[in-house]
C-alpha cells in the first residue's frame, strides 16, 4: 500500500520545474554558508503546493512528519500548509497541531515556511487560547535558531490583524538588535503592518529606536510613509 506521503512526493515530482528550482535555490540562499544552505527545491509555486495540501488534508501526523523531514523544500511546505488548513478546519485538533508545530521547528527552516504558517498556527492559538504568549514568544526570541526567532515575531502578525499591537512591540524590542538580516526584515515588516492600522503606535516605537535599529529594519518599517517622514527618520540615523 502506497502511503499518502509517497503520493504527495510523486505528485510534486510530476509538476517539478527544473528552471524554477534553480531560481528558487538562488533566491532562498542555499549556497555554502548562506541561511538556506543545502536546501533542495523542486520548482513548484505556493498555489500549486496549496492545492496538493488541500487534497491530502487528512493524512496522519506520521506522514506529515515524513514530509516535514524531507530534503525538498516544497514537501516541507506542503506539510505546513496541511497543518494550517487543519488548524483552521478542525477545532478539536488545534492544541495537537500547535504542540506538533513547536516540536518540529527545526524543519520550519526558511523564511517562507515561517511566514506562511507561524501566525496562522502559533499566533492564532496563543491569541485564542489566552495562554501565556509572552513566555513562549520570549523563549523563541532567546533561541539560537534563526527560524525560531523569526517565528516569534511573525506569530504576532495574528495579533496585529486583531488590532492588538503590544505583543509585536514587545518582541520587536527584544529583537531590535538581532544580528541577522532576516530578523531585521521581519521586524520591519511587522512594524509596517502595525502602521497600516495605527501609524501613531508605529511612530512611538520608531521614536525610541530609529536611531539605533538596523537600516534594513527601518527601511521596511517606513516603506509606506510619505517622503517627508521617510527623510525625517533616515536623516537622524546614526547606526
Question: What single-letter DSSP state applies at residue 226?
Answer: -
Q: Average pLDDT, stretch 17-42?
A: 95
Comparing CA positions, the residue from 186, 195, 204, 194 lying closest to residue 226 is 195
Residue 115 DSSP SS3:
helix
Mean pLDDT across the chain, nearest whole number?
Answer: 94
How far is Cα 133 from Cα 124, in angstroms, rounded to an integer? 10
Cα angle 194-196-199, degrees, rounded to a multiple of 5: 70
Helices (H), 104-198: 111-115, 118, 124-129, 133-141, 146-155, 157-161, 166-175, 181-197
The confidence band for 124, taking pLDDT boundaries of 50, 70 and 90, is very high
Contact 190, 221 (CB under 8 A): no
Whether the predicted pLDDT of 201 surpasses 90: yes
Residue 211 DSSP SS3:
coil
pLDDT above 70 coverage of the chain, percent = 95
Contact 234, 218 (CB under 8 A): yes
The per-residue pLDDT for 37 is 93
The per-residue pLDDT for 2 is 54
Q: Average pLDDT, stretch 17-26?
A: 96
For 1-104, CATH gives: 1.25.10.90
The per-residue pLDDT for 1 is 42
| CATH class, range 117-239 | mainly alpha
The per-residue pLDDT for 239 is 47
Domain locations in the chain as residue ranges: 1-104, 117-239
Domains 1-104 and 117-239 alike in fold = yes
CA atoms within 13 A on the CB side of 54: 7
What is the secondary structure of 69-111 as a DSSP string?
T-SBHHHHHHHHHHHHHHHHH-GGGHHHHHHHHHHTGGG--SH
Residue 67 DSSP SS3:
helix
Which phi and psi angles does 40 have, rounded to 5°? -115, 140
Neighbours of 82 (CB within 10 A): 26
Contact 77, 113 (CB under 8 A): yes
Which tens digit of pLDDT belongs to each residue from 60-113?
999 999 999 999 999 999 999 999 999 999 999 999 999 999 999 999 999 999
Which tens digit of pLDDT belongs to each residue from 143-175?
999 999 999 999 999 999 999 999 999 999 999
Contact 175, 142 (CB under 8 A): no
Whether the predicted pLDDT of 132 surpasses 70: no
**The dihedral of CA 219, 225, 227, 232: what is its sign?**
negative
Comparing CA positions, the residue from 154, 78, 70, 85 lying closest to residue 114 is 154
Amino acid at each position: 500500500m502506497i502511503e499518502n506521503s509517497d503520493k504527495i512526493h510523486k505528485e510534486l515530482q510530476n509538476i517539478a520545474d527544473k528552471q524554477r528550482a534553480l531560481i528558487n535555490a538562488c533566491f532562498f540562499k542555499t549556497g555554502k554558508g548562506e541561511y538556506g544552505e543545502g536546501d533542495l527545491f523542486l520548482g513548484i509555486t505556493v498555489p500549486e503546493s496549496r492545492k496538493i495540501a488541500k487534497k491530502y488534508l487528512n493524512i496522519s501526523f506520521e506522514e506529515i512528519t515524513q514530509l516535514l523531514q524531507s530534503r525538498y523544500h516544497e514537501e516541507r511546505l506542503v506539510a505546513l500548509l496541511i497543518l494550517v488548513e487543519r488548524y483552521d478546519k478542525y477545532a478539536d485538533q488545534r492544541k495537537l497541531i500547535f504542540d506538533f508545530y513547536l516540536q518540529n521547528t527545526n524543519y520550519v527552516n526558511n523564511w517562507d515556511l515561517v511566514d506562511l504558517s507561524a501566525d496562522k498556527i502559533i499566533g492564532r492559538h496563543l491569541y485564542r487560547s489566552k495562554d501565556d504568549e509572552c513566555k513562549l514568544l520570549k523563549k523563541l526570541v532567546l533561541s539560537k535558531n534563526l527560524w525560531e526567532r523569526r517565528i516569534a515575531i511573525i506569530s504576532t502578525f495574528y495579533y496585529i490583524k486583531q488590532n492588538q499591537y503590544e505583543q509585536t512591540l514587545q518582541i520587536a524590542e527584544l529583537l531590535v538588535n538581532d544580528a541577522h538580516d532576516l530578523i531585521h526584515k521581519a521586524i520591519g515588516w511587522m512594524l509596517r503592518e502595525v502602521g497600516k492600522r495605527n501609524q501613531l503606535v508605529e511612530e512611538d516605537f520608531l521614536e525610541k529606536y530609529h536611531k539605533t535599529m538596523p537600516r534594513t529594519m527601518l527601511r521596511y518599517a517606513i516603506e509606506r510613509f510619505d517622503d517627508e517622514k521617510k527623510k525625517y527618520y533616515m536623516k537622524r540615523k546614526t547606526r
